[in-house]
Amino acid sequence: MRPRSAADPGAMRLHPRTAPGVAGGRPRAPVPTSRRWRYAAVLGLVLGTLAAREAGATVFLAKDEALAQAFPGAERVEDRVFILTDEQKTAVEKLAQAPLESQLWTIHVGWKAGEVQGYAVIDSHVVRTLPESVMVVLEPDGTLRRVEILAFHEPPEYLPTSRWVEQFKGRALTDDLKLGAGIQGITGATLSATAMTASVRRALALFTVLVKAPASGTR
């Protein structure tokens, strides 16, 4: 069978409104090549950024693992949930010299043989443009026992070293607990040092206002 040509009376003809590339009888304007490249470039940049952020995110410890390390041998861990009043929020911010982004906080309490083994606060905050989560562990008297980075989503070059984090051990909520005072900075990662120092001060201030003050009967 020979192919039919357009001039062949038996050839099928497409109506102008249904012909490919035609809308309402008018040919569709092709998308300019430059615009297509621009769309592709933007999409590639967005996907690349998301992939890079995901690849750069590091989770070191899950919450349960972190609390197990905070209270080794604990018989139970109590979660004390607090919704801060405006007065408490102001008091915490004044002591911490750092803002509170939420008025909902949990203080984890380790128990063993009927005695408090310690307290832990998990604080999540933004470092530069991405978040990190830090666990601050306190002795029963509120002295700083340890600080642990649970998750860090910034590029790894901004991650504080374990040696730097050790500076916080044994500290209390004093003027010495500041960058440039008792806490040394991190060259090239000032925002990381600032964010973690603020996190530690927040945890100590929360303990002071929510645990220590009510126990002593002070306000």
pLDDT in tens, the chain (219 residues): 444 444 444 444 434 444 444 444 555 555 555 555 444 443 443 344 444 444 457 999 999 999 999 999 999 999 999 999 999 999 999 999 999 999 999 999 999 999 999 999 999 999 999 999 999 999 999 999 999 999 999 999 999 999 999 999 999 999 999 998 999 999 999 999 999 999 999 999 999 999 998 876 654
Residues 106, 178 within the same domain: yes
Examine the fold and report which residue of 9, 40, 56 is the final residue of a domain before the chain moves on. Answer: 56
| Count of Cβ atoms closer than 10 Å to residue 105 Cβ | 21
Query: Is residue 19 a part of any domain in this protein?
Result: no
pLDDT attached to residue 215:
74
Angle of the 86-96 helix axis to the 190-207 helix axis, nearest 10 = 130
Query: Is residue 115 a part of any domain in this protein?
Result: yes
Query: Is residue 3 a part of any domain in this protein?
Result: no
Query: Is residue 13 a part of any domain in this protein?
Result: no
Residues 154, 198 within the same domain: yes
pLDDT attached to residue 57:
74
Domain count, the chain: 2
pLDDT attached to residue 165:
96
Residues 188, 91 within the same domain: yes
Tokens of 197: 């120092």
Residues 40, 102 within the same domain: no
Q: How far apart are CA 111 and CA 115, in angstroms?
A: 6
Q: How far apart are CA 217 and CA 9, in angstroms?
A: 102
Query: Is residue 95 a part of any domain in this protein?
Result: yes
pLDDT attached to residue 5:
42
pLDDT attached to residue 142:
95
Query: Is residue 6 a part of any domain in this protein?
Result: no
Domain encompassing residue 52: 26-56
| The amino acid at 203 | A
Residues 68, 145 within the same domain: yes
Half-sphere exposure of 55 (CA within 13 A, CB side): 6
pLDDT attached to residue 81:
98
Examine the fold and report which residue of 6, 41, 56 is the final residue of a domain before the chain moves on. Answer: 56
